[in-house]
């Protein structure tokens, strides 16, 4: 009997003194482990912030910060043993045990390398296909608001400074028409500039969840109302946009917009000597943000670590003189020029604009909600427009991405359903015809190959004489059968040969690798023998099967047809 009693008391004592197993407390722990990397441990704090901690930071003060000052959970699960002789600090929990527990949980989560998406404020595409709206303290997913600070479908939604929510009741189509009427207070160069601006606005509300983001540039001379237009768009977007920026750099914008999916408004995006290089870097960054998911940029730190920047914003720029853009930028940034106001717009214009801005601010949350509620409408409209633009208007897929996005953005604000007949489609596409016409013109005159060829033809040739000429003029002289011998010899020395110069259809051979041509392209993006690929983007440009000799230097070459060569009236 005594033996049985002894066993019973031993079991009771073991049960009483049993330490809680991880499964007993994991679900209740207010701090979420995210993983470990390079001796650091990553957590989502009780408030919902992503925190990085080293082992030496996991002390009483560090845990107070990580648990946002509420140590109840730690005191319950990691109590200090009675009569342990430990000093009373006010924390009253076993710090080494808590540290070991949190480290083990991070290790179980495996490596945290920054590749896991962190989603802060803005509109994101959820795995369900519906938009996820992060407003700082709460996140709206699949019809429910949830407290921020959780991981879902491989994405982290941390807590962030609170922003305004979209309205509970969406805007009506008549309220969308009000915003369109407001855009008519400005004088756009294009006849349907107001409709285009509305489309850019509509897609900006949900750009972070879209497969393509259409960026915008509004520009005009003083007196065209550029500043008030910025105020109008800012009022309409409300919390769906970051506050406007007036002084900025690429690095500053990258850090400010990191892990956010709200529209960015950049004022004074000027083309001048002091900002040219800065704007060039910013334009490149904007270009990278266009496709689904935005830009994923990595930068190194002085300590040798990699920093990840995820930029998922739609950008709208405002300036007097637009910055220079590459052909690929024109396919991603729609430019709308503002003209001086018409006489009918000047009459009482200031009051009308002020009222329109106030009304846009009032309707903004409702318009945001309307855009959020219509992902299926947007998707169907975009598909219809994209097919029409590529099949009936012979636009490239990239151009159809840009214009289809603008059309679908206007569609969700103006209509209750996508177009379902050819007349409706054509009528809506008509509103962006000016953009299409500009695109077609730019595609033939400002594409990468044409820019490269223009650079070649306009490059000077140092002949060691007083009558230095451009390569273009040298080609013209070389077409003369009798007097062009010297010009033809000079062309060969710098990596080109004019063939069939005595006929009506001469053609030019351009070496793929030649020191003379490298000097002609020096300082440009084509200088490191990249002119071959650029030239071959032009229709009709061919390649030689064998190497051609240029003053003793042999190289495979590009064949430039006569229609690309300068004419006599261009000399």
Task: Pick the closest to residue 377 from 213, 139, 173, 197 (CA basis).
Answer: 173
Q: Are residues 88 and 232 in the same domain?
A: no
pLDDT at 262: 95
Nearest-Å Rg of the Cα atoms of the chain is 32
- Residue-wise pLDDT tens digits, 72-89: 999 999 988 776 655 566
- Residue-wise pLDDT tens digits, 408-439: 999 999 999 999 999 999 999 999 998 988 88
| Banded pLDDT at 1 (limits 50, 70, 90) | very low
Report the predicted TM-score, pTM, of the whole model to 2 decimal places: 0.75
Tokens at 7, concatenated: 């066993």
Mean pLDDT, the chain, integer: 87
Is the pLDDT assigned to residue 105 strictly greater than 60?
yes
CB burial of 533-546 (b: ≥16 within 10 Å; e: otherwise) equals ebbbebeebeeeee
The angle subtended at Cα 290 by Cα 289 and Cα 291, nearest 5°, is 100
Count CA atoms closer than 13 A to 274's CA, side-chain side: 5
Identify the domain boundary among 444, 462, 493.
444
Q: Is residue 291 part of a domain?
A: yes
Q: Are residues 489 and 412 in the same domain?
A: no
Identify the domain boundary among 108, 128, 154.
108
Q: Is residue 134 part of a domain?
A: no
Q: Are 357 and 232 in contact (CB under 8 A)?
A: yes
Q: Is residue 135 part of a domain?
A: no
Q: Are residues 193 and 259 in the same domain?
A: yes
- Residue-wise pLDDT tens digits, 241-283: 999 988 888 888 988 899 999 999 999 887 665 566 788 889 9
pLDDT at 456: 92
Q: Are residues 189 and 98 in the same domain?
A: no
Q: Is 370 helix (H, G, I), strand (E, B) or coil?
A: helix
- Domain span at residue 492 reads 448-570
Is the pLDDT assigned to residue 22 strictly greater than 70?
no
Q: Are residues 457 and 435 in the same domain?
A: no
| Most confident segment among 60-69, 174-183, 322-331, 549-558 | 174-183
Q: Are residues 439 and 453 in the same domain?
A: no
Count CA atoms closer than 13 A to 362's CA, side-chain side: 9
CB burial of 38-64 (b: ≥16 within 10 Å; e: otherwise) equals eeebbbbbbbbbbbebeeebbebebbe
Q: Are residues 466 and 436 in the same domain?
A: no
Q: Is 566 helix (H, G, I), strand (E, B) or coil?
A: coil
| Banded pLDDT at 115 (limits 50, 70, 90) | low
Is the pLDDT assigned to residue 353 strictly greater than 90?
yes
Distance CA 359, CA 543 (A): 60
| Most confident segment among 224-238, 447-461, 480-494 | 224-238
Q: Are residues 246 and 183 in the same domain?
A: yes
Distance CA 447, CA 325 (A): 11
Is the pLDDT assigned to residue 3 strictly greater than 60?
no
Q: Are 534 and 527 in contact (CB under 8 A)?
A: no
Pick the residue with more confidence: 236 or 536?
A: 236
Q: Are 484 and 472 in contact (CB under 8 A)?
A: no
Q: Is residue 8 part of a domain?
A: no
Terminus-to-terminus CA distance in the chain, angstroms? 119
Is the pLDDT assigned to residue 12 strictly greater than 60?
no
Dihedrals phi, psi of 134, to nearest 5 degrees: -100, 115
pLDDT at 87: 57
Q: Are residues 78 and 28 in the same domain?
A: yes
Quick one: average pLDDT of 510-532? 89
Q: Are residues 414 and 321 in the same domain?
A: yes
- Residue-wise pLDDT tens digits, 283-298: 989 999 998 888 887 7
Is the pLDDT assigned to residue 508 strictly greater than 90?
yes
Query: Which segment of 30-34, 96-100, 345-349, 533-537 scores lowest on mean pLDDT?
Result: 345-349
Pick the residue with more confidence: 368 or 398?
A: 368
Q: Are residues 464 and 349 in the same domain?
A: no
Residues 6+ apart with CB under 8 A from 308: 114, 115, 296, 297, 298
Distance CA 250, CA 252 (A): 5
Q: Are residues 424 and 460 in the same domain?
A: no
Report the domain count for the chain. Answer: 3
Is the pLDDT assigned to residue 338 strictly greater than 80?
yes
């Amino acid at each position: 009997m005594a033996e049985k009693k002894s066993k019973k008391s031993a079991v009771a004592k073991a049960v009483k003194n049993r330490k809680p197993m991880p499964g007993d407390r994991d679900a209740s722990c207010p701090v979420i482990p995210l993983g470990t990397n390079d001796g650091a441990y990553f957590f989502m704090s009780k408030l919902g912030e992503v925190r990085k901690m080293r082992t030496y930071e996991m002390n009483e003060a560090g845990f107070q910060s990580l648990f946002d000052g509420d140590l109840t959970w730690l005191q319950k699960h990691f109590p200090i043993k009675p009569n342990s002789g430990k000093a009373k600090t006010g924390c009253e929990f076993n710090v080494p045990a808590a540290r070991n527990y949190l480290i083990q949980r991070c290790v179980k989560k495996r490596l945290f390398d920054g590749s896991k998406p962190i989603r802060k404020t803005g509109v994101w595409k959820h795995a369900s296909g519906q938009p996820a709206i992060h407003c700082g303290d709460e996140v709206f997913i699949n019809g429910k608001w949830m407290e921020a600070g959780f991981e879902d479908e491989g994405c982290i939604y941390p807590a962030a400074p609170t922003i305004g929510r979209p309205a509970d009741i969406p805007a009506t189509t008549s309220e969308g028409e009000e915003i369109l009427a407001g855009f008519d207070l400005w004088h756009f160069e294009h006849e349907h500039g107001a409709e285009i601006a509305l489309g850019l606005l509509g897609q900006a509300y949900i750009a972070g969840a879209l497969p393509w983001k259409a960026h915008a540039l509004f520009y005009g001379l003083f007196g065209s109302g550029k500043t008030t237009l910025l105020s109008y768009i800012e009022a309409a977007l409300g919390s769906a946009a970051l506050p406007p920026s007036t002084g900025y750099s690429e690095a500053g914008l990258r850090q400010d917009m990191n892990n956010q999916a709200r529209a960015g408004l950049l004022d004074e995006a000027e083309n001048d000597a002091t900002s040219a290089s800065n704007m060039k870097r910013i334009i490149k960054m904007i270009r990278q943000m266009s496709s689904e998911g935005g830009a994923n940029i990595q930068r190194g730190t002085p300590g040798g670590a990699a920093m990840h920047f995820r930029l998922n914003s739609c950008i709208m720029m405002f300036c007097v003189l637009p910055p220079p853009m590459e052909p690929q930028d024109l396919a991603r940034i729609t430019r709308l020029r503002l003209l001086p106001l018409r006489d009918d717009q000047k009459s009482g214009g200031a009051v009308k604009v002020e009222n329109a801005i106030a009304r846009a601010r009032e309707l903004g949350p409702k318009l945001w909600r309307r855009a959020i509620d219509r992902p299926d409408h947007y998707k169907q409209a975009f598909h219809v427009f994209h097919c029409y633009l590529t099949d009936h208007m012979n636009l490239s897929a990239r151009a159809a991405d840009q214009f289809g996005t603008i059309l679908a953005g206007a569609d969700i604000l103006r209509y209750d359903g996508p177009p379902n007949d050819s007349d409706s489609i054509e009528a809506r596409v008509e509103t962006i015809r000016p953009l299409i016409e500009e695109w077609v013109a730019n595609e033939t005159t400002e594409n990468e190959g044409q820019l490269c060829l223009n650079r070649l033809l306009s490059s000077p040739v140092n002949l060691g004489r007083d009558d230095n000429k451009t390569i273009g003029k040298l080609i013209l002289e070389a077409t003369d059968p009798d007097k062009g011998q010297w010009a033809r010899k000079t062309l060969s020395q710098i990596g080109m040969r004019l063939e069939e110069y005595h006929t009506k259809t001469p053609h030019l051979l351009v070496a793929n690798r030649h020191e003379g041509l490298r000097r002609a392209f020096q300082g440009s993006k084509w200088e490191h023998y990249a002119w071959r690929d650029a030239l071959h983007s032009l229709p009709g440009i061919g390649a030689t099967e064998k190497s051609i000799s240029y003053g003793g230097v042999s190289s495979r070459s590009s064949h430039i047809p006569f229609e690309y060569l300068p004419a006599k009236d261009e000399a």
